Amino acid sequence: MGNSVMADARDASALYWNPALAAQMDGSEVYLSHTSYFADIHMLFSAGVWRLGSRAIGVSMQFLDSGELKETTEFDPTGTGRTFRTTHLAAGLTYAQQLTSLFSYGITGKYLLENIENLSISTTVVDMGFFYKVGDTGLRFAVGITNFGFDAIPTGQTARLTLGGEVVETEFEAISPPTTFSLAAAYDIWTTDVYNILLTGQLTNPSDNSERVSLGTEFRFLNVFAVRTGYEFGVDEASLPTFGAGVRLPVPHFGSVTANYGFSSRERLGSLHRIGLQFGF
């Protein structure tokens, strides 16, 4: 849905989009997803949310692996013969509460760790989210801040070749986390006992990139089948809409199992594929 679901992700993926939505879930859930990027880059995301009355507790973990990359330098632009890789980890603990039937908030504390070549960097950040439902109108709003926290300084050492010979770098500048502010809305355009048509919109303002606006829509049939599409404005290379589909099946004496697939593309880099599984209980 073009990354526009911050006001509607009322499942365990809320720990990624907006922790306040964890308190809007109907029950507890475990969520697993895999994203296949271009250049053999892969990202895994897992989350679990447990509802405790009007409150919710969640844990999440996100891991990205670049795979083996060829090392290139100014003196060897076609490759030095060596390879390296970069990995990124985010582990979070979430608390969310529904203050009224219309309003909830959530906060996630996250530990971030990145490794590239022989360097590593770690810090702690916070995600904060708020959700408000406008009565029974089908309209809802969300506001969130992600990755708000402390600067961090890389540790380790790396060697680079210069005209004067090899230089070993051991001192580095502090790096700020990529803090992002988001404002989103969702509206049920048409709802019956058979189907529901949803429209979503989101404004995202990252500290390390340009603003972008996302729009999405979903058609859901019998709360079992869903098809989705969306578009991202202000994103380089994103010239085509995104597409997705999902199916939710009840499991007797357990709860439900939901499978989702999402597709998006970039003009020169290629296609992105996302698959997800949700286990509700």
32-50 per-position pLDDT tens digit:
999 999 888 999 999 999 9
Per-residue pLDDT for 239 more than 90?
A: no
Decide which of 38 and 120 is more confident: 120
Instruction: Return mean pLDDT, the chain.
Output: 94
The mean per-residue pLDDT over the stretch 176-196 comes to 96
71 in Cβ contact with 51 (< 8 Å): no
pLDDT at 178: 92
Q: What share of the chain is helix, strand, coil (3-state, %, to 5)?
A: 5, 65, 30
The mean per-residue pLDDT over the stretch 91-115 comes to 97
pLDDT at 280: 95
The mean per-residue pLDDT over the stretch 242-254 comes to 94
Euclidean distance between CA atoms 203 and 186, whole angstroms? 12
Domain-wise residue ranges, the chain: 14-280
pLDDT band of residue 243 (cuts 50, 70, 90) is very high
Please tell me the pTM assigned to this model. 0.91
Per-residue pLDDT for 200 more than 90?
A: yes
SS3 273: strand
Per-residue pLDDT for 134 more than 90?
A: yes
Per-residue pLDDT for 268 more than 90?
A: no
Structure tokens at 271: 């296609």
Range with the poorest average pLDDT among 14-23, 175-184, 261-270: 261-270
For domain 14-280, give its CATH number from 2.40.160.60, 3.40.50.300, 2.70.98.20, 3.30.450.40: 2.40.160.60
pLDDT at 253: 84
Per-residue pLDDT for 30 more than 90?
A: yes
Residue-wise pLDDT for 144-183, tens only, equals: 999 999 999 999 998 887 878 888 999 999 999 999 999 9
57 in Cβ contact with 25 (< 8 Å): no
pLDDT at 219: 98
Euclidean distance between CA atoms 74 and 81, whole angstroms? 14
183: which DSSP letter?
A: E
